Structure 1
Amino acid sequence: MVEKEGFAALVLRLRAEGISDLDLLTAVEQTPRSQFVPAQFSDNAYSSRTIPIDCGSFMEGADLAVRILARLQVKPGQRVLEIGTGSGFMTAVMGRMAERVMSVERYKTLVTQAQGRIDALGIRGVVIRQADGGNGMPGEGTFDRIIVTAAFPTMPRFYADQLTHCGSMMAPLMVDEETCMMVRLTKTGSRFEREDLFTVPYLPLVPHIAAQL
């Protein structure tokens, strides 16, 4: 019941923002968010608040997660690269929409938890790897969509090299010490069109701490 009420309230808030993509909302509805949040926060699964998860990480509020996915515009048949699996919620939703999702997470604990949740939902075509992700995934070919959930001081060009023609990537950029902006880059030939979308509460990418967690 909590799931249905939470989802219904989320849809109303999203519609007020102009987000009404039926394929996306269906994928969200089929991915019970309460299974991705720590048990003590299950009442907040569909709220707009940021929720702490293991390894000092956090998951975006429900509204922000769907707003990002709405702008990413994942389509059937596409290959998606996600840097920062976290709880695996966005990974799972994209897994219902794309041909294949490769997600990279530095913390083994989060990789294991996210893989377990996605397997339990029977979502195919998702691969989660424990890796740093700071340089994208060289050697894995190109992707139609790339989504990054850790902030960079400048737009990382090495990801852009892994985009297909007309592919797009979204990544949070630190505009100044206080402000982080979600930016979308669309690739046309060797040129990129940049759009600044909205501010986000992401944390800067910390290099080389993939470590033991």
Structure 2
Amino acid sequence: MKSQLLEREGFAALVLRLRREGVTDLDLLTAVEQTPRSSFVSSEYSSSAYSSRTVPLACGQFIEGADLAVRLLSILQVKPGHRVLEIGTGSGFMTAVLGRLAERVISIDRYRSLIGDAQKRLEALGLRNVILRQADGANGLPGEGTFDRIIATTAFPAMPRFFAEQLVSGGMLLAPLMVEEERCVMVRLTKTGSRFEREDLFEVPFLPLQTKLALYL
């Protein structure tokens, strides 16, 4: 009972903060509410599950703050019928929320143990439209057709080229880009026909992509 109360209080506080940021999408907030965030962090960090701070995960990784996670999902504007590619499964929280919004989600991560943990969480939530795979994500996911939305939570050293072939016309890519040695900016690319519109959004704390590492993990 106490854990459920903390979950409700944490979610309510998150919604208040998000509304101040202009995030009011009811479908998105409902999907977040149906995805208990404390289930995606270890018990020692459960009190911080809904905070704006990053929370440590296994393999030296972290789950982004709740505010940033939902803010990114709001920008992505996922709708029913969309196919989504997520690069960087992490805890699986954003993956699960995407699974409640989209028709199909494929999520990849370089760490086998993170994929395994996330799979258990998704199964516990009864999400059957999400596929998890171990891969580094440097080339997106060749051979799986095109996606309406692509979101990455691992930072690229330069704008990735795969999006040109893996994104549908009218699709959107949201990815962190290293613009300086220790400065990372979230970038939005929107595809119209063969043209792309780029918008640099705000700084984010994501870690740089390490290519081919998944082969050894």
* Category of TM-score, reference length = shorter chain: over 0.9
Aligned 1:81-160 pairs, distance under 5 A: 81-160=85-164
Answer whether contact 1:107 1:211 (CA < 8 A) is retained. no
Provide the C-alpha distance between the structure 1 equivalents of 2:156 and 2:176, rounded to a whole number of angstroms: 6
1:42-61 correspondence runs (5 A): 42-61=46-65
Distance in 2 of aligned mates of 1:129 and 1:153: 23
- Cα drift, residue 17 of structure 1: 0.4
Q: Alignment partner of 2:213: what SS?
A: coil
Tell me how far apart the structure 2 counterparts of residues 154 and 69 of structure 1 sit (CA, whole Å). Answer: 22
Does the residue aligned with 2:180 lie in a helix, a strand or coil?
A: coil
Deviation of the 1:131 alpha carbon:
1.5
- 8 Å contact kept, 2:136–2:210: no
Residues in 2 aligned to 1:166 and 1:210: alpha-carbon distance in whole angstroms? 31
Q: Which residue is 1:37 aligned to?
A: 41
CA distance in 1, matches of 2:138, 2:156: 10
Which residue in the other structure is 1:189 paired with?
193
1:119-176 deviation per Cα after TM superposition (whole angstroms, max 9, x unaligned):
0001120000112221111100000000011111211011232000100000001121
TM-score by length of 1: 0.98
**Aligned residue number for residue 3 of structure 1:** 7
Q: Deviations over 1:191-210 (max 9, x none)?
A: 10001111100111011211
Q: Alignment partner of 1:153: what SS?
A: coil
Unpaired runs of 5+ residues, structure 2, are none
Structure 1: unaligned runs, 5 residues or longer: none
Amino acid at match of 1:158: F
Secondary structure of 1:81's match?
strand
Given that 1:33 and 1:45 are in contact with CA atoms closer than 8 Å, whether structure 2 keeps it comes out as yes
CA distance in 1, matches of 2:203, 2:113: 28
Backbone CA RMSD of aligned residues:
0.9
> Could you tell me which amino acid in structure 2 is paired with residue 186 of structure 1?
T
Alpha-carbon distance in 1 for matches of 2:163, 2:53: 29
SS in structure 1 at match of 2:162? helix
Number of corresponding residues: 213
**What is the letter of the counterpart of residue 74 of structure 2?**
A
